[in-house]
């Protein structure tokens, strides 16, 4: 049981630092991943950026993910071939939805980062951080798209996840760090004493604080 996301982040930071990543960049999945990722970035002395993902739902079944659009220097689209096959849809059927999701991503990036450019991960260790994994659909899309940005290695670091999700994620990353893999998993929030909703204002403030701290360290 973690006290809150900051407590989970501080514990996760020690585990990640012990593994000594080379040239690390920390990528938080907003919104809940940001307060967890901040202590990790500070402990590593690494830049903190966001990995923004928007799901592409099947028409008429928005909760069924046919794919996802993932943020980056060049936006990436990842499709779920099994869902496309099951629904009889083609990638081209989502062109309009992709344009809409790209607009949403750009609006969120501008809001959260206020014009700061994405951090280049090429040749570096990209460490993806969230507050936990439930089904893992969003994280899987993010990891697959991130690989196309040519990092030297991809690490996934989370405080808690079910055993089944860990098994699904391991082939997608070079290292996976998870502090708690409970035998009975119900929801991410069940493993935190305090699991308040993270709002946009907290993301903006957190990312601004980390950018300012990074700027001071470079002076």
pLDDT tens digit sequence for 180-208? 999 888 899 999 999 999 999 999 999 99
Arithmetic mean of pLDDT, 15-42: 97
Write out the two tokens for 169: 């994620």
pLDDT of the residue at 11: 98
Domain count for the chain, please give it.
2
| Structural contact between residues 143 and 172, judged by C-beta atoms closer than 8 angstroms | yes
What's residue 141's pLDDT? 85
Instruction: In whole angstroms, give the CA distance from residue 5 to residue 24.
Output: 21
> Given this model, what pLDDT does residue 74 score?
67
Tokens 């096959």, located at residue: 85
CATH of the domain at 182: 3.40.50.2020
User: If you average pLDDT over every residue of the chain, what do you get?
Assistant: 91
Q: Answer yes or no: is pLDDT of 218 > 80.
A: no
pLDDT tens digit string along 158-178?
999 999 999 999 999 999 999
* Same domain (yes/no): 134, 205: yes
Q: Residues in the chain, how many? A: 219
Do 94 and 66 belong together in one domain?
A: yes
β partners of residue 2: 192
Range of the domain at 161: 5-50+120-218
Q: Are residues 157 and 145 located together in one domain of the fold?
A: yes
pLDDT at 38: 97
Assess whether 37 and 70 both reside in one domain: no
As a dihedral over the C-alpha atoms of residue 176, residue 177, residue 182, residue 184, rounded to 10 degrees, the angle is -30
Q: What is the pLDDT of residues 76-124, one digit of tens each?
A: 888 888 889 999 999 999 999 999 998 898 899 899 998 888 899 999 9
């Amino acid at each position: 049981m973690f006290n809150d996301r900051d407590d989970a982040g501080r514990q996760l930071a020690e585990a990640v630092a012990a593994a000594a990543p080379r040239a690390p960049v920390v990528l938080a999945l907003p919104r809940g991943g940001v307060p967890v990722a901040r202590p990790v970035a500070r402990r590593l002395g690494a830049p903190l950026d966001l990995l923004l993902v928007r799901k592409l739902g099947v028409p008429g079944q928005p909760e069924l993910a046919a794919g996802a659009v993932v943020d980056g220097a060049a936006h990436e689209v990842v499709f779920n071939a099994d869902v496309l096959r099951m629904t009889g849809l083609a990638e081209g059927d989502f062109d309009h939805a992709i344009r809409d999701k790209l607009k949403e991503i750009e609006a969120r990036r501008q809001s959260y980062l206020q014009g700061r450019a994405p951090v280049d991960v090429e040749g570096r260790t990209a460490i993806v951080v969230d507050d936990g994994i439930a089904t893992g659909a969003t994280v899987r899309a993010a990891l697959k798209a991130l690989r196309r940005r040519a990092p030297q290695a991809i690490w996934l670091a989370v405080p808690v996840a079910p055993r089944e999700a860990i098994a699904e994620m391991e082939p997608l990353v070079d290292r996976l760090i998870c502090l708690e893999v409970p035998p009975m998993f119900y929801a991410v929030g069940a493993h935190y004493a305090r699991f308040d909703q993270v709002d946009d204002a907290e993301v903006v403030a957190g990312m601004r604080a980390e950018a300012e701290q990074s700027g001071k360290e470079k002076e």
